[in-house]
Structure 1
Amino acid sequence: MLDTRRNIALACSLSALAGYIDGIGFLHLGGLFVSFMSGNSTRMGVSLAEANWLNAANALVLIVLFVAGAAAGSLIVLGRGAYRQTWLLVAEAALLAAAALFHHVGYSASAIAAIVLAMGLENAVFQIEGGAGLGLTYVTGALVKVGQLVATALTGGGRWAWVPNLLLWAALVAGSTCGALAYHWLNLAAVWFAAALALALGVAMAGAGRA
């Protein structure tokens, strides 16, 4: 999937978007994540061990919402309609805009729920029939690929095949840095910028004739 410049650019843009949102969510939730469910799963396990039932329940709710978003995204891209990826990004933009509006009227919990659904949704952008697609809101798999492809390069394989996965990681780090800075400036209202980016990417994909 990271086989063309267009796909690499789109994937890195979406990874940066996810990092931006996760930086905001991490600060707002005091250590929980809105897109990194491995981290939330670990926090849930630790909270259960410490009998901190409220923290464990909060982590579980985030995980369930993320899975629901991923399922909704898959239903969109595996459907038969035209411009499925575009509609998925428009749906993500709508959820992020709704989150910003919820925050504006004082419903922060609803804002977080909309954000987590949007992050789950995003992971279906590169999904193909019968496959899991490309994870965009977490980069553990990308870093594993970097290591594997570096080893391949050292043993005579493609010299630069590892670079796209490293760029995916770097995009998420850059996005999370910007998200943290934006949160200190605007709180959850910073999500408006992410909504605008998701919408712009959806429009760009429609213009490029993507399915």
Structure 2
Amino acid sequence: MNLGIVLAGLAGAMGAAAWLHTSGWYVTFMTGNTERMILEHFKGNHVLGLGALATVLAFLVGVMVATLARIHWWKKSRHGATLVTMAAAYVAWLVDVLTNDSDAPLGVVPILSLAFGLGALNTSISRQNQVAMPLSYVTGTLVKMGQGFALHLSGVRRWVWVAQVVTYAGFLAGIVLGGTVFHSIGTHNSLAALALMSTVIAVITWKLDHPRFADKDAGE
């Protein structure tokens, strides 16, 4: 559960960076992007509609890549998904540095890279190749939280809502931290900080997946 808080926090921070440094693009909110990829065309905003479609596809491909990597390379491991997310964060940062001014809004490639990375990140906590704890799927988390509260109050099942509250709190904390930091340090530095955060979390998940190596390093 502690790992879930950290991973949800990273998801919230990635969403904060994308939203603050664009004209309001969401890389965590695929429900809204699915609506926008249709409805923007009715308003004549065809570019925005296509952008929303591209964001959904990038997120979906990120989920697929991380899942395939888990099946074929990193079986029963959580660090594979965080490595994919880390790589996506670095791609977003490098492309932004090479193609954009320091305070200019994020371009298409960095945004799609972050959406790809978030898709991958959401597969981190899986059982039998199915997601056990969605990290940025806040709608589903709130539904489960509300059901858990109702079950607790009715005496049917107690404390089943704790995991959802923890995930939601982690996501909120990531947004608050990301918003506080990224709002004041500019686009390039925000993506660099995000890449560094994802690196630290990838190392943490690798050590959790390989405790023998971590213990060996600590003893040397």
Aligned pair count reads 204
Give the conservation status (yes or no) of the 8 Å contact 2:67–2:129: no
* Alignment counterpart, residue 60 of structure 1, candidates 53, 56, 65: 53
Give the conservation status (yes or no) of the 8 Å contact 2:66–2:123: yes
Partner of 2:134: 135
Give the conservation status (yes or no) of the 8 Å contact 1:77–1:127: no
Q: In the aligned structure 2, how far is the partner of 1:17 from the partner of 1:80?
A: 24
Deviations 1:95-140 (A, max 9, x none): 2122112211225332222211111111111122252442112211
Q: Give structure 2 stretches of 5+ with no counterpart.
A: 101-106, 212-220
Q: In the aligned structure 2, how far is the partner of 1:173 from the partner of 1:148?
A: 20
1:13 aligns with 2:12: no
Please tell me the residue identity of whatever aligns with 1:190.
S
Pair member with larger Rg: 2
Deviations 1:136-189 (A, max 9, x none): 122111111111111111121343221221121122122112222333222333
1:206 aligns with 2:206: yes
Deviations 1:24-70 (A, max 9, x none): 11122312211211121222233122122111111111111111111
**Structure 1 residue 87: deviation in Å?**
2.6
Give the conservation status (yes or no) of the 8 Å contact 2:79–2:205: yes
Please tell me the residue identity of whatever aligns with 1:145.
K
Partner of 1:126: 125
Please tell me the residue identity of whatever aligns with 1:172.
F
* Alignment counterpart, residue 42 of structure 2, candidates 27, 49, 71: 49
Give the conservation status (yes or no) of the 8 Å contact 2:9–2:173: yes
Change (3 A) 1:50 1:171: same
Give the structure-2-normalised TM-score. Answer: 0.83
Secondary structure in 2 matching 1:124: coil
Give the conservation status (yes or no) of the 8 Å contact 1:22–1:34: yes
Please tell me the residue identity of whatever aligns with 1:73.
A
Give the structure-1-normalised TM-score. Answer: 0.86
Secondary structure in 2 matching 1:51: coil
> Where does 1:19-30 land on structure 2 (aligned, <5 Å)?
19-30=12-23
Change (3 A) 1:157 1:193: farther
Deviations 1:57-96 (A, max 9, x none): 1111111111111110111122254574213212211221
Please tell me the residue identity of whatever aligns with 1:169.
Y
Partner of 2:193: 193
